[in-house]
Amino acid sequence: MPAYCKLVRDEIPQIIESSGRKCVYEVLDDQRYAAELYRKMNEELLEFAAAEGMPQAVEELADLLEVVRALADLRGIRMEEAERVREKKAAKRGGFTQRIFLVEAENDF
């Protein structure tokens, strides 16, 4: 059997087994789960960055958002609260739509 050694979506073992194939998996404790979620977030971010075309980009962004939701849940953060804070920060400091790249500034901002 090929080794994958990576975090997968919850239904993957059942999908594999329902097709008549075998798999070996384990359920992670919180510490290892967090570490694997961070690794998965990096994997999904790289896949999103490399996506060619809108359909693939949307798929990869959806995967990235799923990982963010899992991390939020693990840390006890409600996505509604995160969105509220995001909106507050955007109202106060703006977003990233104007593509501003700060080169230098006196003092901290």
User: Tell me: the pLDDT tens digits for 75-93?
Assistant: 999 999 999 999 999 999 9
The answer to whether the pTM exceeds 0.75 is: yes
Q: What sign does the dihedral 66-43-20-17 (CA atoms) show?
A: negative
Q: 36 burial class (0-12, 13-18, 19+ CB within 10 angstroms)?
A: middle
- Percent of all residues in the chain with a pLDDT value above 70, rounded to a whole number: 98
Planar angle of CA 105, 108, 109, nearest 5 degrees: 85
